[in-house]
Amino acid sequence: MGRLDGRVALVTGSSSGIGAATARRFAEEGARVAGFDQNPAPDGGPELFREGDVRDEAQVAAVVRAAIEELGGLDVVVNSAGVGGGGPVHQLSAEAWDRVIDINLKGTFLVCKHALAHMVEQRSGSIVNIASIEGLEGVDGGSAYNASKGGVVLLTRNLAIDYGRRGIRANCICPGLIDTPLTAGITGSEAMRDFKQRFIDAHHLGRLGRPEEIAAAALFLASDDASFVTGHALAVDGGVTAGHAFGARKMMGLE
């Protein structure tokens, strides 16, 4: 028996990385899964899939409606669609800022908006938004990305406050550095090699995370195992936000 048997889930950003891993895990746990992404569905992808842009409200409304009509309802939403971006604010174009904010934050808002209309009526539902540890604390050069993910964290908490009495839970996951195509695109260049290694070193488990590890956290938050959890920002980050290491581990023989 799966932990999501009989439920319908919509996963955005479902063609790669965290979204693809989450869609697979949810299907394995018994959910009927709808996927939404700008890129084509991967082989063996979600049962229902629509190509589209989370910034386009009409497309968002259409995929929510398709999940309800073709899969029989909507019980879980995972907002995983996102992009990176930032840089020094005084050099950042308004267009670059808008792209990151619109996809990461406005896109999350639009999906929640249309999913909630159904969830309010049925008086149940679980929303899991993928934020970032950069939504909990700043990172140099993060600017637009930090702002967008900080907005996702607070939007999630607001949803938990507003909709809890309707039986709807809202939580977010704040991943550390995860081994995804998005991460590779940002940190894969020679110029970013030192930055990437220092970021990995800040993870006290000493490695990148895997998309499947974020999917497992999403499963927990979506399932009845988290029935009394709402408004929470769950850091799944290999220990980055636990604090800083300054060399004492080596002195203590722990490296």
Enumerate the active-site residues.
Answer: 145
In 122-237, where do the E strands start and end? 125-130, 168-175, 233-236
Starting at the edge strand found earlier in the chain, the sheet holding 76-79 runs 48-51, 32-37, 8-12, 76-79, 125-130, 168-175, 233-236
Residue type, 44: G
196 C-beta neighbours (distance < 10 Å), count? 17
How far, in Å, CA of 220 to CA of 76, rounded? 12
What burial class does residue 228 get, using C-beta atoms within 10 Å of its C-beta: 0-12 exposed, 13-18 middle, 19+ buried? Answer: exposed
Q: Which of 42, 33, 38 is nearest to 11 (CA)?
A: 33
